[in-house]
Structure 1
Amino acid sequence: MAVTRKVRRFSGGVYDLGLHVVWCPKYRRPVVGGQVASRLEELIRAKVDERGREIVGLEVMPDHVRLFVKHDPKPSASYVANQSKNFTSRVLREEFPHLRSKLPPLWLSSYFAASVGVVSAETVQRNIDTQWERPWKKGDGS
């Protein structure tokens, strides 16, 4: 699936930010299946929608969750990840008591997060390295 560029505006500029986040249940136990998995997906979608973000991809597996979300520039990656983890842990453990007995904290405290964009790191580096080679920069004194 190709991700299209959708530039958004805010008072300080424009942005197109994507974030890939992965997190796991404590001890990477395969406890997220069936009704728990369905409810987890509903909760993640609700939290993302509530915050005005956009889910590009979401995969709930028995032993981990992968979320690809477009977000605004103000929250950090840790804030975006921890919002989903904290909210879903609280609700799932209330609704599914067996999760409380198996896993006192539902999720590991750690997570993986990586920025995702439509411009590759190589393209950015090439643009930086060749900025003085552009015709409008030569000899204009700026």
Structure 2
Amino acid sequence: MKNHIAGAARAACAVKYHFVWCPKRRASVLKGAVANRLEEVLHEVAEEHEWEIGSLAIRPDHVHLFVQADTRHAPYQVIHRFKGTSAHILRDEFDHLHKIPSLWTRSYFVSTTGKVSEQVARQYIEDQS
């Protein structure tokens, strides 16, 4: 991950977030082709912003994402990019997703991890698969 802190060429940052979010009404719509496309979109968003996805688990009614981002982006900006872009693309490509008023709820869970708890978060996400 590149350093993006203006004027701080010698600074190094590693902020890792564990996000969890759900479709509106906790609808079980994240399966099959929708889940596959969601995974692609999330990786595209991460690549576009030079974020690194460490772990990803897409369940029919929720998503777990473990991602490393730079300090230019607050957690709410990171999740907004993932949720906003994926909702727009998925609803354009899958007509049945219009049965719910919006793809994602407005809420989400986020926690940061340090070196000690990183493996615990990764293992938890992998166990969701």
Q: 1:56 Cα shift?
A: 0.4
Q: Secondary structure at the match of 2:18?
A: strand
Q: Secondary structure at the match of 1:68?
A: strand
Q: Which amino acid aligns with 2:102?
A: P
- CA separation in 2, counterparts of 1:117 and 1:28? 30
Q: 1:119 Cα shift?
A: 4.9
- CA separation in 2, counterparts of 1:69 and 1:35? 23
After the TM superposition, which residues 52-91 of structure 1 pair with which residues of structure 2 at under 5 Å, given as runs?
52-91=50-89
Tell me what 2:112 maps to: 115
- CA separation in 2, counterparts of 1:117 and 1:78? 19
- CA separation in 2, counterparts of 1:56 and 1:42? 14
- CA separation in 1, counterparts of 2:52 and 2:114? 14
Q: Does structure 2 conserve the Cα–Cα contact (< 8 Å) formed by 1:16 and 1:117?
A: no
Tell me the TM-score normalized by structure 2. 0.82
- CA separation in 1, counterparts of 2:14 and 2:114? 7
Tell me what 2:15 maps to: 17
Question: How many correspondences in the alignment?
Answer: 113
Q: Which amino acid aligns with 2:81?
A: Q
Q: Does structure 2 conserve the Cα–Cα contact (< 8 Å) formed by 1:25 and 1:108?
A: yes
Q: 1:85 Cα shift?
A: 0.3
- CA separation in 2, counterparts of 1:28 and 1:66? 14
Q: Which of structures 1 and 2 has the larger relative contact order (alpha carbons within 8 angstroms, sep 6+)?
A: 2
Q: 1:113 Cα shift?
A: 0.7
Segments of 4+ moved more than 2 angstroms: 8-12
Does residue 41 (structure 1) correspond to residue 77 (structure 2)? The answer is no
Q: Secondary structure at the match of 2:55?
A: strand
- CA separation in 2, counterparts of 1:65 and 1:45? 13
- CA separation in 2, counterparts of 1:65 and 1:51? 20
Which entry has the higher C-alpha Rg, 1 or 2?
1
Q: Secondary structure at the match of 1:33?
A: coil
- CA separation in 1, counterparts of 2:84 and 2:23? 12
Q: Which amino acid aligns with 2:93?
A: E
Q: Which amino acid aligns with 1:112?
A: F
Aligned Cα root-mean-square deviation (Å): 1.5
